[in-house]
Amino acid sequence: MAAGAIALLAGSIWMATTAVGALGKQWSYTARLVEGHALITEGPYRLARHPIYTGLFGMMLATGLVMTYWFVLLAASAIFLIGTNVRTRSEERLLRGEFGAAYESYARRVPALIPRLRNKG
């Protein structure tokens, strides 16, 4: 269990930190667009549309696997996923408004939060 949690934690940290790096000056605590905003689809954004949240979820799961009871982790996961759903809907509205068909195409190819084990196509 500990080895799996460590691997999950390492992958999650990679996912979140490289996603922030890929966004560069576009990254923000708030959902917003900046002048010259670009649609980022490379790096961790080719695996998930919201890789920062993917990384945060993985970090929470890894910690919970070794530090808490399963029912507490289950409740925390539900709360996290509900809150993340609210946040990602807001972000996706902005991105769809700015990038239109390009974002729709990206959203069809790439899952929102949990990467696929195999790519479609």
Assess whether pLDDT exceeds 70 at residue 30: yes
Share of the chain above pLDDT 90, in %: 87
For residues 35 and 65, give the distance between their C-alpha atoms in angstroms, rounded to a whole number. 41
Distance of CA 41 to the CA centre of its chain: 13
Please answer whether residues 113 and 56 qualify as being in contact, where contact means their C-beta atoms are separated by less than 8 angstroms. Answer: no
* Predicted local confidence at residue 13, as pLDDT: 98
Alpha helices in the chain (DSSP H): 2-23, 51-67, 70-109
Q: Each residue of 43-61: pLDDT tens digit?
A: 999 999 999 999 999 999 9
pTM of the prediction?
A: 0.91
φ, ψ for residue 47, nearest 5 deg: -100, -35
